[in-house]
Amino acid sequence: MTISLPDDLADYVARRVASGRYDSADAFLAELIVKDQDHRKLDDDELRDILTLAEESGVSDRRIPDILLETKAKLRDYL
């Protein structure tokens, strides 16, 4: 498989490899793919449970901008 990246992304990958954490660009990209797969592993039962809990929780009194800020902060901490 051959992957073409824009220069800025190719430079980023090269810097990550140069940092010593990865042996090659292949290793770096493979780790990214595994992380992506892990993030997407919700089976039907889990998704159904999440939706049921959401419905049962009722209407929130939080504002959408506050929810978005909280979610972005959680994502920053997670990544």
In-domain check, residue 27: yes
Task: Please list, in sequence order, all residues whose beta carbon lies within 8 angstroms of the beta carbon of residue 14, skipping any fewer than 6 positions away.
Answer: 25
Say what the pLDDT of residue 19 is: 95
In a domain, 50, yes or no: yes
d(CA 10, CA 19): 14
Alpha-carbon span 27 to 70, nearest angstrom: 32
1 located within any domain:
no
17 lies in which domain range? 7-78
Rounded CA-CA distance 68/56 in Å is 21
Number of domains in the chain: 1
Q: Please write the tens of the pLDDT for every residue from 6-62.
A: 999 999 999 999 999 999 999 999 999 998 887 777 777 888 888 999 999 988 888
Averaged over 53-73, what is the pLDDT? 91
